[in-house]
């Protein structure tokens, strides 16, 4: 009785046997390597068919185990990729290398100022060296703030609708307060875009270059709103357009807090 087993990269097996005795025999086996040791042939003379089948079963089990290990390896790789995926709800904004829009504040601003563009309607600028620039405040509550350093910036904001607060952004970290009313934000390193559940942009902040940030959006606050559609800016009941310069202050726009009810 002769058994022939062919191993090719550990994935294929060939087996042949004759009509020999069923009595177990020790036999003689030789192994021949072919190519760059990628194919091996195991030839056994005078081997019992039961033993030959056991050898075949071992090889088959090895092939199945290899496939299972491959699946496990792929699963581990997928888990690792998910673990290392950046959190879409958190991140710094770093400057791109895009041109700034026309700027009526250039003559008055310091050379290292950070300009805030509300489309082409209004331009503001943060005073030199200011780590925090308040875009919108109501009473003592900052509703939209730019936090900056020499090479990067984050946004802090509170986003509302008529039923209350939707989300908070704290130095770039995004937290949804009412799941289902906001989609996960888009964040590519230079921009942060926040959508509502109807796929409408509520806030779009784009870090154009180290000296310019663009802000558009439709923001509702308990004491008013800020609507920047690219060509006009409406804050509360005030309308701005034509590239007005309102810069140089630590606070760009103030909304009057709601009056306290008295009996």
Strand-pair partners of 136: 144, 253
E strand or H helix at 59: helix 49-83
From CA 235, how far away is CA 219, in angstroms rounded?
10
Please report, rounded to a whole number, the percentage of residues in the chain having pLDDT higher than 70.
Answer: 66
From CA 222, how far away is CA 118, in angstroms rounded?
21
Average pLDDT, the chain: 74
User: Per-domain residue ranges for the chain?
Assistant: 2-83, 114-255
Greater model confidence, 90 or 256:
256
Residue 221: how many CA atoms within 13 Å on its side-chain side?
27
- Res. 63 pLDDT band, cuts 50 70 90: low
- Res. 18 pLDDT band, cuts 50 70 90: very low
Report whether 219 contacts 101 (CB < 8 A). Answer: no
Phi then psi for residue 178, to 5 deg, are -130, 90
Alpha carbon 127 to chain centroid, angstroms: 32
Phi then psi for residue 40, to 5 deg, are -130, 140
Greater model confidence, 88 or 25:
88
pLDDT digits (tens, 9 = 90+) for 131-182: 888 998 888 888 889 888 766 788 898 888 777 888 888 888 888 888 777 7
- Res. 59 pLDDT band, cuts 50 70 90: low
- DSSP-derived secondary structure letter, 247: -
Q: What is the pLDDT of residue 79?
A: 56
- Res. 13 pLDDT band, cuts 50 70 90: very low
DSSP, collapsed to helix, strand or coil, labels residue 203 as strand
From CA 137, how far away is CA 35, in angstroms rounded?
76
pLDDT digits (tens, 9 = 90+) for 215-227: 999 888 888 888 8
- Res. 86 pLDDT band, cuts 50 70 90: low
């Amino acid at each position: 009785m002769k058994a022939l087993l062919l191993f090719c990269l550990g994935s294929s097996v060939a087996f042949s046997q004759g009509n020999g005795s069923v009595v177990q025999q020790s036999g003689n086996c030789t192994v021949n390597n072919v190519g760059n040791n990628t194919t091996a042939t195991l030839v056994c003379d005078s081997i019992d068919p039961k033993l030959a089948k056991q050898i075949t079963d071992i090889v088959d089990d090895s092939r199945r185990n290899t496939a299972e290990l491959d699946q496990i390896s792929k699963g581990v790789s997928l888990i690792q990729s998910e673990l290392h995926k950046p959190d879409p709800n958190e991140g710094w904004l770093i400057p791109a290398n895009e041109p700034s829009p026309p700027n009526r504040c250039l003559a008055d601003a310091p050379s290292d100022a950070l300009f805030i563009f509300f489309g082409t309607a209004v331009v503001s600028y943060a005073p030199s060296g200011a780590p925090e620039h308040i875009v919108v405040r109501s009473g003592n509550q900052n509703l939209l703030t730019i936090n900056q350093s020499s090479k990067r910036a984050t946004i802090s904001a509170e986003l509302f609708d008529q039923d209350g607060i939707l989300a908070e952004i704290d130095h770039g970290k995004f937290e949804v307060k009412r799941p289902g009313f906001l989609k996960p934000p888009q964040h590519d390193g230079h921009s942060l875009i926040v959508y509502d559940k109807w796929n409408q942009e509520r806030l779009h902040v784009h870090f154009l270059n180290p000296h310019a940030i663009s802000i558009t959006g439709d923001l509702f606050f308990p004491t008013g709103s800020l609507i920047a559609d690219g060509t006009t800016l409406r804050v509360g009941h005030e309308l701005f357009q034509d590239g007005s310069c309102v810069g140089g202050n630590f606070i760009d726009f103030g909304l009057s807090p709601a009056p306290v009810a008295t009996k």
